[in-house]
Amino acid sequence: MKREMMAVAVTAGLVGPALAEDRMQVFPNGSRPSARGPDATFTGSVRVDPQFAAPGETALSAGHVTFEPGARSAWHTHPAGQLLIVTTGAGWVQEWNGTKREIKPGDVIWTPPGVKHWHGATATTGVGHYAIQTSVDGKGVDWMEKVSDEHYAK
């Protein structure tokens, strides 16, 4: 990438300072360790596989999130919105006071900035998706209360 283009990419938050070089970099599979979704923000078994950009490295980040059947996120918002790209299984998404909607591989879900929502697996089938978001002032998500079992079952 030319220096001018790299400067634009760094300024736009597309790559972090550690990537601001004149050479392509390859980050091998396994160089970004998987993590369990924290109990404070997820219900059930959830695994997060970071794809790029650890917090603080750049404003843009992505992870592949895998939910076992019945697992789900807590209610939350994103200051700059979020894209989900469903890769496996079947899941649900729902915005506050909205209808729970089924999601399947190939579906792309856009959640606008500040919209309170949750997403996760169906009761019988796991789901995987890429979650892509941009941080604002160093924050990419605002976590809220957990989705109750009663609400999840509706």
Mark whether 44 and 66 lie in a shared domain. yes
The tokens describing 56, both together, are 């603080």
Report the distance separating Cα 55 and Cα 70, nearest Å: 28
Mark whether 39 and 69 lie in a shared domain. yes
Mark whether 81 and 62 lie in a shared domain. yes
Nearest-CA neighbor of 38 among 65, 58, 2, 12? Answer: 65
Long-range CB pairs of 14-21, under 8 A, 24+ apart, other chains included: 14/58, 14/60, 15/58, 16/53, 16/57, 16/58, 17/57, 18/57, 19/58
Structural contact between residues 86 and 127, judged by C-beta atoms closer than 8 angstroms: yes
Mark whether 14 and 49 lie in a shared domain. no
Mark whether 66 and 45 lie in a shared domain. yes
Mark whether 22 and 54 lie in a shared domain. no
5: containing domain: 1-28
Predicted local distance difference test score (pLDDT) of residue 59? 84
Predicted local distance difference test score (pLDDT) of residue 46? 98
Mark whether 18 and 55 lie in a shared domain. no
The DSSP line for 75-104 is SEE-TT-EEEEEEEE-EEEEETTS--EEE-
Residues of the chain with pLDDT under 50: 1-17
Mean of all residue pLDDT scores within the chain: 86
Mark whether 38 and 93 lie in a shared domain. yes
3-state secondary structure of 84: strand
Report the distance separating Cα 44 and Cα 137, nearest Å: 30
Mark whether 81 and 120 lie in a shared domain. yes
Mark whether 20 and 81 lie in a shared domain. no
Question: What CATH number has the domain bearing residue 89?
Answer: 2.60.120.10
Report the distance separating Cα 134 and Cα 60, nearest Å: 4
The tokens describing 24, both together, are 């392509």
Q: Positive or negative, the Cα torsion across 152, 121, 28, 39? A: positive
pLDDT in tens, 23-66: 787 878 888 899 999 999 999 999 999 998 655 567 888 999 99
Kindly give the residue spans of alpha helices, DSSP state H, lying in 1-154. 3-11, 149-153
Q: For the chain, how many structural domains are there in total?
A: 2
Mark whether 135 and 61 lie in a shared domain. yes
The tokens describing 30, both together, are 């396994």
The structure's pTM equals 0.81
Mark whether 47 and 79 lie in a shared domain. yes
Predicted local distance difference test score (pLDDT) of residue 77? 98
